[in-house]
């Protein structure tokens, strides 16, 4: 850590610890550390937002089901309220990501049940897709790991789980990349048009698939969900389509970054890579340590539902609370040597998948994918190295991932 990072001023705004800030974009951790040490409960008045960074506060708040989640419950003018969709007052286009009970539980429970059963059933097929993609990457020379492996893999896997037809896979990939732009508030007009057109095409395609599977079910998640609906499931077609799309938006970039961040970390820490190769039983712990050390999603949020104390501070109804998962993950009160990437000790649970009612629904899938990718990749390329390059981190606020990662095999 440079001297200026050690002695720099403590952040006073949530923006200073996000990828909007060039220094935090390259490395958010020194600023998050200072924030956690000096202002563990920060009030960002211009953005009308609270920011928590200590592990215990973050854990207690994500787990507390009395908070709200939907941006429309957040104070007007606050950072979270800007994420609401003014054209959707009834919340029909709001996925479980931002729904509150009873809608959240009504939509999430049947989806979780079907999705987890699918992942369990399809694990061998998921692993086979991973092996195929890695085997198709160049056998020697230099290539961009993100382009060849980390970006295409999660899309191919979710397409297979959902039941996307093989001959529509290229279009599906294109639309998925379009809708993911919804996560980027700084997108250009051209990107916004691409995003809207992609969402329309994806909606039409999901509508078609749902109709087809009602008539002729197949072995896929869309068939499971239309069957669950026919069996009395209390969700309509709009809700189902929105939540199936949430699997794309929530799952692709995040898993891409878990793969990229992990390969980058292992190649920069050869002792850890050796430890993993020497003891494959460390595979799950290795994934958890990558998630802890470079969390692909750096923050999540809740909304105060009635005046109360949170993390020892009086807060008002409708004030948003942002929680820095990445700062909690390096809290020394919870993790020994938190600034060291070390896969060998059994550590406390990290916060990277959030918690409580909204805990990431895709966590089991992301874990399966990352475990298999690390194993298969370092098996196929035992002498993979990182050529000299400038690592460019994504400019997307509160996401942490690498744009391009050149590797030499």
Residues in contact with ligand HEM, counted by CB under 6 A, come to a total of 27
- Smallest separation, CB 335 to ligand HEM (Å): 17
CB 330 within 8 A of CB 340: no
- Smallest separation, CB 176 to ligand HEM (Å): 11
The answer to whether the peptide bond before residue 102 is cis (omega within 30 degrees of 0) is yes
Binding test (CB under 6 A) with ligand HEM, winner from 30, 163, 355, 401? 355
Q: Give whichever of 52 and 97 is closer to ligand HEM, judged by the CB atom.
A: 97
- Smallest separation, CB 387 to ligand HEM (Å): 26
Q: Which residues lie closer than 8 Å to 245 by C-beta, 6 or more apart? A: 95, 179, 199, 202, 203, 206
How far the first Cα of the chain sits from its last, in Å, is 30
Asked if 290 interacts with ligand HEM (CB under 6 A), we say no
Asked if 286 interacts with ligand HEM (CB under 6 A), we say no
Asked if 222 interacts with ligand HEM (CB under 6 A), we say no
CB 238 within 8 A of CB 249: no
Asked if 108 interacts with ligand HEM (CB under 6 A), we say yes
- Smallest separation, CB 402 to ligand HEM (Å): 14
Q: Which residues lie closer than 8 Å to 130 by C-beta, 6 or more apart? A: 153, 157, 369, 372, 373, 376
Binding test (CB under 6 A) with ligand HEM, winner from 247, 265, 396, 405? 247
Asked if 359 interacts with ligand HEM (CB under 6 A), we say yes
* Tokens linked to 353: 């998948």
Asked if 117 interacts with ligand HEM (CB under 6 A), we say no
Q: How many helices (H) and strands (E) does the chain have?
A: 15, 8
* Tokens linked to 279: 């003891």
Asked if 353 interacts with ligand HEM (CB under 6 A), we say yes
361 to 380, contacts with ligand HEM by CB under 6 A?
361-362, 365-366
Give SS3 for 384.
coil
**DSSP conformation letters of 27-68:** --HHHHHHHHHH-SEEEETTTTEEEE-SHHHHHHHHH-TTSB
Tokens 């200073």 belong to residue: 16
For the four alpha carbons of 356, 359, 365 and 368, in that order, the dihedral sign comes to: negative
Q: Which stretch binds ligand HEM (CB under 6 A): 73-81, 144-152, 350-358, 373-381?
A: 350-358
Q: Which stretch binds ligand HEM (CB under 6 A): 168-176, 196-204, 242-250, 327-335?
A: 242-250
Asked if 180 interacts with ligand HEM (CB under 6 A), we say no
Binding test (CB under 6 A) with ligand HEM, winner from 318, 352, 394, 396? 352
Asked if 114 interacts with ligand HEM (CB under 6 A), we say no
Report the alpha-carbon distance of residue 72 to residue 89 in Å, rounded: 9
Residues that bind ligand HEM (CB under 6 A): 62, 96-97, 108, 158, 246-247, 250-251, 254-255, 258, 296-297, 300, 352-356, 358-362, 365-366
């Amino acid at each position: 850590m440079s001297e200026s990072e050690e002695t720099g001023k403590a952040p006073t705004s949530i923006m200073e610890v996000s990828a909007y800030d060039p220094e935090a974009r390259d490395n958010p951790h020194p600023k998050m550390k200072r924030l956690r040490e000096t202002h563990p409960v920060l009030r960002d008045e211009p953005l009308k937002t609270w920011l928590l960074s200590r592990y215990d506060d973050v854990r207690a708040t994500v787990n507390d089901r009395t908070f709200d989640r939907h941006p429309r419950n957040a104070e007007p003018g606050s950072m979270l309220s800007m994420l609401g969709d003014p054209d959707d007052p009834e919340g029909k286009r709001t996925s479980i990501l931002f729904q509150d009970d009873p809608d959240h539980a009504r939509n999430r429970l049947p989806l979780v049940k079907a999705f987890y059963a699918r992942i369990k059933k399809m694990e061998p097929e998921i692993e086979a897709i991973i092996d195929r993609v890695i085997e198709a990457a160049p056998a020697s020379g230099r290539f961009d790991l993100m382009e060849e492996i980390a970006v295409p893999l999660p899309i191919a896997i979710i397409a297979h789980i959902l039941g996307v037809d093989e001959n529509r896979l290229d279009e599906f990939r294109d639309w998925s990349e379009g809708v993911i732009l919804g996560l980027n508030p700084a997108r250009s007009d051209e990107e916004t048009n691409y995003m809207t057109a992609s969402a329309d095409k994806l909606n039409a395609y999901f509508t078609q698939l749902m109709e087809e599977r009602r008539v002729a079910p197949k072995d896929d998640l869309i068939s499971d969900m239309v069957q669950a609906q026919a069996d009395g499931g209390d969700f309509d077609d709009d809700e189902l389509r929105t939540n199936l799309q949430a699997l794309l938006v929530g799952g692709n970039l995040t898993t891409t970054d878990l793969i990229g961040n992990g390969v980058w970390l292992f190649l920069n820490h050869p002792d850890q890579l050796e430890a993993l190769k020497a003891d494959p039983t460390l595979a799950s712990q290795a994934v958890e340590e990558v998630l802890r050390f470079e969390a692909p999603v750096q923050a999540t949020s809740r909304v105060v539902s009635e005046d109360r104390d949170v993390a020892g501070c009086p807060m008002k109804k409708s004030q948003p609370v942002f929680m820095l998962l990445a700062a909690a993950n390096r809290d020394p009160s919870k993790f020994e040597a938190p600034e060291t990437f070390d896969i060998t000790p059994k550590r406390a649970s990290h916060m990277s998948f959030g918690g409580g009612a909204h805990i990431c629904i895709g966590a089991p899938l992301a874990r399966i994918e990352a475990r298999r990718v690390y194993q298969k990749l370092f098996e196929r390329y035992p002498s993979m190295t990182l050529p000299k390059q400038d690592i460019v981190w994504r400019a997307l606020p509160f996401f942490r991932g690498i744009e391009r990662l050149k590797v030499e095999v």
